[in-house]
């Protein structure tokens, strides 16, 4: 398999770092997906996958002018189209994990003719004000313990150098993302050696999260999505509630939900056979056998 790396320049001069697997013309973009490279690069059979750090993340340029961050998630949506054009693709597929699972659908809403397929993995929900029924969330004792330990860790910040604080932060937070906290050693996305990653919470709280909270998606917004959408969600997700995955699959015009029963926020690590096979099937143009059409948000209420 051929791999390469480089930078894509944005119109405002910010460069986004990327890694590419494969040389085929069919293009799949993974915004903020560099940490997925080793796990997903084998999907580059008959297609090319471009994993890139969004602005102010990873090895992409640090953005020092607040104007380059002020629009939060909307910068990432616009940057997607510049990345697509850089690689010369008329239309692309998108894969997004966590909050980027929301970003990739926003791309499909804004550029419907340019996105032909979308995969969301553990996505944030369409509205951050939605409270899902308790059985569609996983607000368990593990979550409460981790939040308490993070609060205690914050008191240590002044005595720790930034790299060490980042490492300790992720050692505490890691178990949150796995149905079985003992699997936290599989997590690969801390990247504490990178200043952008160590400083991410600042831009998250100042720009990204507020822009997400202000979203008010309408039925017309959902109807603009022409792409097939596969939503993959762990039923035990503590970070993005399982109800969010069900809601996306319910409200998008051509979407199905793959529920990973014994997984949380990293289902490709917790159930790799199921998830990676489903991704191959979907990227090849078919629906995975286990993917369901969602008719109601809360199936237990029927």
Residue 156 lies in a domain: no
Question: For residue 272, what is the domain's CATH number?
Answer: 3.40.50.1820
pLDDT tens-digit readout, 74-85: 999 999 999 999
The Cα–Cα gap between 94 and 123 comes to 13
The Cα–Cα gap between 273 and 268 comes to 8
The Cα–Cα gap between 274 and 226 comes to 26
Q: What is the dihedral of CA 258, 264, 269, 275, to 10 degrees?
A: 0
Residue 147 lies in a domain: no
pLDDT of residue 1: 81
pLDDT tens-digit readout, 97-117: 999 999 999 999 999 999 999
Residue 160 lies in a domain: no
C-beta separation of 192 from 170 below 8 A: yes
pLDDT of residue 301: 60
Residue 235 lies in a domain: yes
298: pLDDT strictly greater than 80:
yes
Q: What is the domain extent for residue 233?
A: 3-131+195-301
> Phi/psi at 229 (nearest 5 deg)?
-130, 125
Helix, coil or strand: residue 236: coil
**Token duo for residue 228:** 């097939």
Q: How many domains does the chain have?
A: 1
């Amino acid at each position: 398999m051929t791999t390469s790396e480089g930078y894509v320049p944005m119109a405002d001069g910010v460069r986004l770092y990327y890694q590419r697997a494969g040389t085929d013309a069919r293009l799949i973009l993974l915004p903020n997906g560099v940490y997925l490279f080793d796990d997903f690069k084998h999907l580059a059979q008959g297609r090319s996958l471009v994993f890139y750090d969004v602005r102010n993340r990873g090895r992409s340029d640090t953005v020092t002018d607040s104007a380059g961050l002020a629009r939060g998630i909307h910068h990432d949506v616009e940057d997607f189209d510049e990345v697509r054009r850089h690689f010369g693709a008329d239309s692309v597929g998108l894969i997004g994990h966590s909050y980027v699972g929301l970003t990739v659908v926003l791309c499909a809403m804004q550029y419907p003719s340019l996105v032909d397929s979308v995969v969301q993995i553990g996505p944030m929900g369409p509205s951050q004000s939605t409270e899902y029924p308790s059985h569609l969330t996983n607000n368990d004792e593990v979550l409460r313990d981790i939040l308490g330990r993070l609060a205690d860790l914050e008191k240590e910040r002044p005595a720790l150098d930034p790299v060490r604080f980042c490492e300790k932060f992720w050692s505490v937070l890691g178990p949150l993302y796995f149905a079985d906290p003992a699997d936290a050693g599989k997590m690969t996305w801390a990247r504490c050696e990178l200043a952008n990653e160590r400083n991410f919470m600042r831009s998250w709280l100042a720009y990204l999260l507020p822009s997400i909270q202000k979203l008010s998606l309408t039925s017309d917004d959902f109807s603009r999505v022409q792409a097939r959408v596969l939503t993959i969600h762990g039923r035990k997700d503590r970070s993005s509630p399982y109800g969010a995955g069900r809601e996306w699959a319910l409200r998008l015009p051509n979407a199905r939900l793959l529920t990973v029963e014994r997984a949380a926020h990293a289902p490709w690590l917790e159930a790799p056979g199921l998830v990676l096979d489903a991704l191959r099937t979907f990227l090849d143009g078919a629906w995975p056998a286990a993917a369901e059409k969602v008719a109601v948000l809360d199936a237990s209420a029927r």
